[in-house]
């Protein structure tokens, strides 16, 4: 996928000098990012580099010590931001409510906010489930009856129901075998094609990152080390990035 194919829709996300510490531990150390409307932007980095914390700031689950996040020209702290912009997040664990069926999980946003009548919600739920290759029978299951990959797909369907302008994915392929990981990666690309939403994927899965990204940023120790297209990132001579990309299991 190239940047030229990106539609001029979605929301621009700008992060300026974002800092966050937990106690004495600095997690984000002046992060600057610019994400274009509608693109698939992958934030890659080793475990513990602050990727998920950055994502939680973008969705408003964490408050920064300093720095700014803008959606288009609006600061994320501004009142009513959630009324102006629809942001959805797919959690690492799926974040599905175990007490609800798959169908109820997917339709939760619409039913709780009373946005559509029940019949219409049911139709939308089935439509979104079909987009991630799940059928009407699956909508009656409980999350505990699903495999890891299915949970992720349901979580994607739940995010799509919001008709989001920004979708955030936290480690979407973690705990999945390579085949299912590929399927989830395809679902992310397909969802982006359908919604044209700005898509930010946090992962340390190199195959996923290079497979789906329009652009990639590499985060290490709370700082952005490199940003660019997959080709630029591959060609980067930054030693941290080189070590991350070339890490391989070899037997002595």
Residues making contact with other proteins (CB under 8 A): 56, 59-61, 82, 87-89, 91-93, 95-98, 108-109, 112-113, 158, 162
**Smallest gap, in angstroms, from Cβ of residue 93 to other proteins?**
5
**Smallest gap, in angstroms, from Cβ of residue 4 to other proteins?**
31
Q: CB neighbours of 124 closer than 8 A, spacing ≥ 6?
A: 107, 110, 116, 161
Beta strands per DSSP E along the chain: 13-22, 25-35, 40-44, 66-71, 74-75, 87-90, 166-170, 198-203, 215-220, 223-228
**Smallest gap, in angstroms, from Cβ of residue 96 to other proteins?**
7
Of the pair 117, 178, the CB lying nearest other proteins is at: 117
**Using CA atoms, how far apart are residues 141 and 159, in angstroms rounded to an integer?**
18
**Using CA atoms, how far apart are residues 154 and 143, in angstroms rounded to an integer?**
9
**Using CA atoms, how far apart are residues 13 and 75, in angstroms rounded to an integer?**
10
Do 62 and 233 meet the contact criterion of CB atoms below 8 Å apart?
Answer: no
**Smallest gap, in angstroms, from Cβ of residue 142 to other proteins?**
13
Of the pair 41, 91, the CB lying nearest other proteins is at: 91
Q: Which residue has the tokens 């590499």?
A: 218
**Smallest gap, in angstroms, from Cβ of residue 161 to other proteins?**
9
Of the pair 48, 60, the CB lying nearest other proteins is at: 60
**Smallest gap, in angstroms, from Cβ of residue 56 to other proteins?**
8
Of the pair 93, 229, the CB lying nearest other proteins is at: 93
**Smallest gap, in angstroms, from Cβ of residue 229 to other proteins?**
29
Q: Which CA distances in Å does 170 have to 38, 151, 229? A: 18, 13, 20
Of the pair 165, 236, the CB lying nearest other proteins is at: 165
Of the pair 96, 129, the CB lying nearest other proteins is at: 96
Of the pair 87, 213, the CB lying nearest other proteins is at: 87
Q: CB neighbours of 78 closer than 8 A, spacing ≥ 6?
A: none
The DSSP string of 125-179 is HHHHHHHTT--TTGGGS-GGGS-HHHHHHHHHHHHHHT--SEEEEESTTTT--HH
């Amino acid at each position: 996928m190239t940047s030229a194919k990106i539609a001029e829709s979605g929301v621009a996300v700008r992060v300026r000098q974002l800092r966050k510490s937990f106690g004495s531990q600095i997690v984000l150390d002046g992060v600057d990012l610019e994400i274009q409307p509608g693109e698939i932007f992958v934030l890659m980095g080793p475990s513990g580099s602050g990727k998920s914390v950055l994502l939680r700031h973008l969705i408003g689950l964490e408050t920064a010590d300093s720095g700014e996040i803008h959606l288009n020209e609006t600061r994320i702290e501004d009142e009513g931001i959630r009324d102006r912009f629809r942001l959805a997040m797919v959690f690492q664990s799926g974040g599905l409510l175990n007490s609800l069926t798959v169908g109820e999980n997917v339709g939760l946003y619409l039913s709780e906010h009373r946005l559509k009548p029940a019949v219409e919600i049911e139709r939308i739920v089935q439509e979104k489930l079909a987009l991630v290759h799940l059928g009407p029978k699956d909508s009656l299951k409980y999350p505990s009856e699903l495999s890891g990959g299915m949970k992720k797909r349901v979580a994607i369907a739940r995010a799509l129901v919001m008709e989001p302008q920004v979708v955030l994915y936290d480690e979407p392929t973690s705990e999945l075998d390579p085949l299912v990981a590929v399927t989830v990666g395809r679902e992310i690309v397909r969802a982006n094609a359908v919604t044209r939403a700005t898509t930010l994927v946090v992962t340390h899965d190199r195959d996923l990152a290079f497979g789906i990204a329009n652009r990639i940023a590499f985060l290490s120790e709370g700082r952005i080390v490199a940003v660019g297209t997959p080709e630029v990132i591959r060609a980067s001579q930054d030693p941290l990035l080189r070590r991350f990309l070339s890490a391989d299991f070899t037997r002595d």
